[in-house]
Each structure stands twice: as structure tokens, then as C-alpha cells.
Chains A and B, each alone.
Chain A
Amino acid sequence: MSIADRSRLAGIAVIAFALICSASARAQDLIADLSSHRVDITTGFTGADLLLFGSVDDTGDIVVTVTGPKENITVRRKDRVAGIWMNTKSIQFTGAPNFYAVASSRPLEEIAPPEVLARQEIGADQLRLKVANGQDSRAREEVAEFRKALIRRKRAQGLYAQTPGDVTVIASKLFRTQVHFPATLATGIYTAVVYLIRDGRVVHAQTTPLVVEKVGIGAEVYTFAHTRSATYGLAAIIIAVVAGWLAAAVFRKV
């Protein structure tokens, strides 16, 4: 099933879902779901698009965040030393999500004040990145500069995305947004959170998990490499030897 097919099916699902919601779920003000709760990294994986959709029974702005598994990231700075650019300073941050996307119905700064955004970690600039132990003596401006650099590099890699106005709201009731995952996606558990924000306050929030996993031959190769490393190494060498010998044999005939 292609991505386009998936989106179409998801579109139908949105409508069906909305009908059910309006009939039975009056009590719930915010309901949201993803077109799929898993992203399979197959042999032909080039990235994925998921549709996040739902219905809201209240006025307000919709903000959607998708956060990937946390990792420790070292940010290094280069300086010119004797004419050569070399790494001089570095700071390690903990708790930086591998992937972070935020979409909203209006620009974030119009929706809520910075304190509210910071409390909920909405927006890449509001992520709570901690300086790793033993490095907390750094000057505040320096840390801020390295923090900005981390977010900038992540954006350049397509792993951090911020798209205001990307949440489409239909008749102040249905909303949908497309989340794009690049091909360099890490595996793990991701979390999608939908916020309903009114008058600068978060009124409702709903969390949906998402699993990113390798499947098929790729997953088997990865498991093989990590569980039986010595056999894997020998197999890699044997493949190379046979391929080299085969090529030489083929060319002899020609």
C-alpha cells in the first residue's frame, strides 16, 4: 500500500471517525488518532508520512507534537587554530529527542505565551535539553549558543520540524495534519501529543504512541550483526571472497 493510498484511506477514516464521535462521544472534547500506529522500516524505506486526525468539540487552537526516543548528543564547535579548523569546545546534552516535529493551526507565539509552551515542551526551542553531568559549570551564554546549534543541525538533517499553519481545521470541528518522517529515522517508541489551547492555556491534551521498527531482511541483518557478530563478520568476508572470485572467473571466459 503506497503512502498516497494510506492517506486516502485515512481521509475516509477521518469522516467515519467524526460521524461516530459526534453521535456518541459528546463528553470527550478532544479525540485524535494516527493513520497508523507503526512505521515499518522496510528494504525500500525512503521515509514515511502519517496522517494525524481527530475531532474537537470546543473552540481553540490545535497543536500537535511528535517526539522520538531520547538520546545524548555532543555538540562540537570548530575554531581556526594555526589556519586549520579544528574542534575546540564541546558540550554534551542529555534528553534530546532523536526526532521532533510540531505542527499547529496558527504560529505558536500567537497561540500561547512562552511559559506555557516551555511547560509542555512545545516547539524545538522549548525542549528541555540538559547539559550532561560534569559540564554544568559552563557559562550560560555558551550553553545557549550550543543549544541553538544542536537544534539548527537537527533541522538541517530534517529531524526537527516546525510547521505552523499545517494543522487544517474544518468547520471548527475536524482537524488533520500530515507528519513527515525522513529516511534517517531511528527505531523506537515515538509519542504524538495533541493539545487544545484556548486563551493561552492548555485545555485538553491527548497522547498517542507510535512504534518505529525495522522489518524484513533489514531487521534480520541488523539482529544477526548484533547477536552473532563473529559469524556475521566471517559471513561478510566469505561473501566478499566469493564475489571477487566469481567476477574473476566470469571475466576469464569473456
Chain B
Amino acid sequence: MYIYLPIAEMSVNVFLILGMGGAVGFLSGLFGVGGGFLMTPLLIFLGVPAPVAVSTGANQIVASSISGVIAHWRRGNLDFTMGFVLLAGGIVGSSLGVLIFKWLETLGQIDLVIKLCYVIFLGIIGGLMLLESVRTILQVRKSGARRRKLHEHNWMHGLPLKMRFRKSKLYISALLPLGIGCLVGILSAIMGVGGGFIMVPAMIYMLGMRTSMVVGTSLLQIIFVTANVTFLQAISTQTVDVVLAILLLIGAVFGAQFGSQLAVKLKGEQLRVLLALMVVSVCLKLAFDLVATPDDIYSIVVASGG
């Protein structure tokens, strides 16, 4: 069954889109990532124009994040204080990111910068997570259930403006989550994603939050970032395809529920290995595309109506 997408101006198989939404939604509920870093390349691969893929992806992530946040909230895995401090940083960061994006666009090569950003960040984060979580699993196997310290103390705990995050059992400087939120905001504006795949590891490793708490809290901030992106794209580029978004989100909201149900059953380090593997494989695919000889070294793009 095919349906014509009015903004993307193409027809797509309904079941393919529903399935894609479901798969990405499942991962989003499981890991707390918005799934934009998977959805956007998938949509582009289907032939959806890149701007439409980015804007519509953002719209759909709003839905799957809300569905995921509610599910995590019911289980008490949501730190509102932390979420809003991150969000404050995110708003500053994404405004900066939009400026940087415009500057890169005038230089040309924005496509290459986006791809390189993906490869570098996915590679570093995925690789580090994979190493760390595999090590944890091996250690647990060797020495049984050894009780670890809640988190390591280092220079980051010497920063001023200390704040108490009751839910996360943390007493840290507010500058840390603000900074992380800001950095994620910049990257998400440039890469066109919610930024969950950067935020989740940052919260685990830099803030020392529990993995189960991180997922819900990350989704909370993603709701606002992606809603903002949806609105800005709708008024400035008119590239939000509601028909495509509805199809994607029907699949995604259900997928996210199954994902978050599975998330409570898995152990933190298992969850991290899986997320790391996924991040690394997307990174390898993108890196391969940059190096492999393309089918046709020429490409065409419509400049403007003439």
C-alpha cells in the first residue's frame, strides 16, 4: 500500500515507514536516544529529501520521547531537576549551533562536516562505551558482585555553584549539566538530531548518573529540543511533512513502549554494550561511505525554481 507524502513530494510504502518508525522507536525507548541519528539517514536512503528528513524526524522524535518519558516517569526513573538544568544549557547551545550551521553553510561542504561530525562523535562515544561496558561485564564475572563506589571524585567536583539532584543522588556543580546541555545543543543543531546518543554517555560517565535514571531524563530534554526544531523548521523552511511524521510516530510510539519495558529487564552494562555496538556500527557505515568510491561521482540538486 502506497501513500503520497505532500511535503516530501514522493510516494512511499506505508508498511515500510511504519516498520521503520517501530524499529527506531524501540531503540529510543530502550536506550533513551531520540533515534534521529538512525532515522534521518534511513529516510534519506529511502529518497526523502534531506531537509524534509531532518525536520520530520524531529517531529516524530517529539512523540516517541513523550511516550518514553511517561513510561520512565511511572517507574520513577526521571530526574526533573537535572532535566531542566540540561535543557537550559541546551537552549543556549542550540541557538549557538544554528549560528555555526549558517556559517558552515556559507563555506560550503556542510554535508561533509555533518558526516565527519557523525563519524567522529559516534566513533569516540561508541568506542569508549564499548570498552568500558565490556570491561565492567568481565569484572563482574570474575569477582562476583563487587560493590563499587557510587562515582569517582575528580576535578569536576571542585567546580562552584553546587546543586543537589535528589533523584540522581548527586551533589555536583550546576555548571556540569549546563555545559553538557550546551554542547549537546550545539551538536544537535549541526547534526540535526536530538542529541541523546551524546547526552546519555555524557550523563553516565561525566555526571556519574545511574543508567536507568539517565534514559528518562535524557528523553525529557529531547522533547523540548526536537519540538523547538520542528517549530523553527516549519516556519523557516516548510519541510515538516505531517503525513510522514504521523506514519513514523504510529510505529515509533508503540516501539518506544516495548523498548522501555525491555530496558528495565536488562542490566545497565548490557544496555550500554548494545547501545555502544549500535553507535559503532552506524559510525563504521558512515565512515565507509566517505571513503568508498561512489557509483557516480556527480550528483544533482535543485537550486531553486527558475
Contacts and interface: CB of A to CB of B under 8 A. Distances in A.
A127 to B, nearest CB: 14
B117 to A, nearest CB: 13
Interface residues of A, number: 66
B7 A221 contact: yes
Nearest to A149: B298
Contacts of B232: 233
Interface in A212-233: 214, 217-219, 221-222, 225-226, 229-230, 232-233
B291 interface: yes
A219 B230 contact: no
Contacts of B304: 71-72
Contacts of A86: 109, 112
B4 A218 contact: yes
Interface string B252-292: 01101100000000000000000000000000000000111
Interface in A169-211: 183-184, 186
B4 A237 contact: no
A46 B6 contact: no
A71 B253 contact: no
Nearest to B4: A45
A116 interface: no
Contacts of A98: 302
B240 A87 contact: no
B290 A85 contact: yes
Given A78-B297, A233-B235, A244 B306 contact: no
A186 B298 contact: no
Contacts of A149: 296, 298, 300
Which of A74, A84, A186, A240 has most B Cβ within 10 Å? A240
A235 interface: yes
B71 A248 contact: yes
A118 interface: no
B303 A236 contact: no
Contacts of A75: 298-300
B243 A218 contact: yes
Given A152-B296, A153-B296, A251 B231 contact: no
A244 B66 contact: yes
A146 B11 CA distance: 29
Nearest to A41: B4
Q: How large is the interface on B (under 10, 10 to 19, 20 to 34, 35 or more residues)?
A: 35 or more
A157 B246 CA distance: 27
A41 B4 CA distance: 8
Interface string B14-53: 0000000000000000000000000000000001000000
Contacts of B3: 43-44
B301 A241 contact: no
A225 B272 CA distance: 40
A131 to B, nearest CB: 12
B254 to A, nearest CB: 6
Given A183-B4, A236-B230, A87 B112 contact: yes
A153 to B, nearest CB: 5
B292 to A, nearest CB: 8
A214 B71 CA distance: 40
B67 interface: yes
A70 interface: yes
Interface in A34-56: 41-47
Contacts of B298: 75-78, 146, 149-150, 152-153
Nearest to A242: B63
A73 interface: yes
Interface of B: 2-7, 9-11, 47, 59-60, 62-68, 70-71, 74, 108-109, 111-112, 227, 230-235, 238, 240, 242-243, 245-246, 249-250, 253-254, 256-257, 290-294, 296-306
27 contacts: A45-B2, A45-B4, A69-B305, A71-B303, A71-B306, A72-B306, A73-B302, A73-B303, A74-B302, A75-B298, A78-B297, A86-B109, A87-B108, A152-B298, A183-B10, A183-B11, A218-B243, A226-B238, A233-B230, A233-B233, A237-B230, A239-B63, A239-B242, A243-B67, A243-B253, A246-B253, A247-B63
